[in-house]
A and B are shown apart, each in its own frame.
Chain A
């Protein structure tokens, strides 16, 4: 009888505080890291245009950031045109009719057209036929 009483007293004294802390820390870590795909877009001063509202929301197969100085960035990494061409070629090779390979270009609005032209010529060599220009609201520019 006295043994049972001591067991029950021991059960009551189990402290779950630190376990709950750890579990929440893990949940927060996994939720936070799962968002990185969305957050990995370089901050760029995009052209100010309202865009095409009829365009259906579809995550592009490839997102290329173009800075004011003409640097190309893919997934937060500075990437050469040769490497972009290689990535695009692989994407075009794996595309299907239902899900064609498309590219979103996020350019700095003050960057020169020559940088965009060099990029698009490379993409055109790989068979890319459609591209999208990213814009933000804020009146005409």
Chain B
């Protein structure tokens, strides 16, 4: 009986202060370094300048021109114009994939429209996707 009482007194004296310190520091560390950022994805493209990049014996890529109509971007391919990325993807699916596709746009087009065009080309199955920056 006396022995048990002595052991319990010893256990009660365990210094937990430093362990609590350490546990809290680790907790703070993992909270701070946890990655709360959204996962980012990538849309790769080739960089081609006006009048360069395409050899004469290469097939000429089909060109998507992005223009602004009021506040909305529109995607044009030759005479055909579509207003959204889904319609552009449907249009691109009908075209041959071998020549690839080149994207050009007006200077005031939002970059989200360029991303939408690159995504549509990728989803339509084009392996060769290039962007032609305008020097205007």
Tell me the A residues contacting B by CB distance below 8 Å: 17, 20-21, 24-25, 28, 31-32, 35, 38, 41, 46-53, 55, 66, 104, 106-114, 116-118, 120-121, 123-124, 128-137, 140-141
The 3 nearest A-B residue pairs measured at CB: A51-B41, A47-B115, A114-B107
Are A49 and B116 closer than 8 Å at their CB atoms? yes
B114 within 8 A of A: yes
Residues of B within 8 A of A111 (CB): 110-111
Are A50 and B111 closer than 8 Å at their CB atoms? no
Give the secondary structure class of A's interface: mixed
B47 within 8 A of A: yes
Smallest CB gap from A53: residue in B:
B41
Q: Chain B 118-136 against A: per-residue CB contact (8 Å), 1 yes, 0 no?
A: 1100100000000101110
Smallest CB gap from A38: residue in B:
B35
Question: A24-B25, A117-B107 are known contacts. Are A52 and B122 too (CB-CB below 8 A)?
Answer: yes
Query: Count of A-B contacts with CB under 8 A?
Result: 151
Are A24 and B22 closer than 8 Å at their CB atoms? yes
23 A-B Cβ contacts within 8 A?
A52-B43, A55-B44, A109-B112, A112-B108, A113-B66, A113-B114, A113-B134, A114-B108, A116-B114, A117-B107, A124-B47, A130-B44, A132-B45, A133-B42, A133-B43, A133-B44, A133-B111, A136-B38, A137-B41, A140-B84, A140-B116, A141-B115, A141-B116
Smallest CB gap from B33: residue in A:
A35
Smallest CB gap from A114: residue in B:
B107
Question: A51-B41, A135-B41, A136-B41 are known contacts. Are A21 and B22 too (CB-CB below 8 A)?
Answer: yes
Tell me the B residues contacting A by CB distance below 8 Å: 15, 17-18, 21-22, 25-26, 29, 32-33, 35, 37-47, 49, 66, 84-86, 105-116, 118-119, 122, 131, 133-135
Option from A21, A107, A131 in Cβ contact (under 8 Å) with B47: A131
Q: How far is the CA of A28 from the CA of B21 in the complex (A)?
A: 13
Q: How far is the CA of A21 from the CA of B84 in the complex (A)?
A: 59
Are A135 and B40 closer than 8 Å at their CB atoms? yes
Central interface residue in A25, A66, A133, by most chain B CB within 10 Å: A133
Q: How far is the CA of A47 from the CA of B120 in the complex (A)?
A: 13
Smallest CB gap from B73: residue in A:
A113
Smallest CB gap from B85: residue in A:
A140
Option from A17, A48, A133, A135 in Cβ contact (under 8 Å) with B15: A17
Smallest CB gap from A55: residue in B:
B42
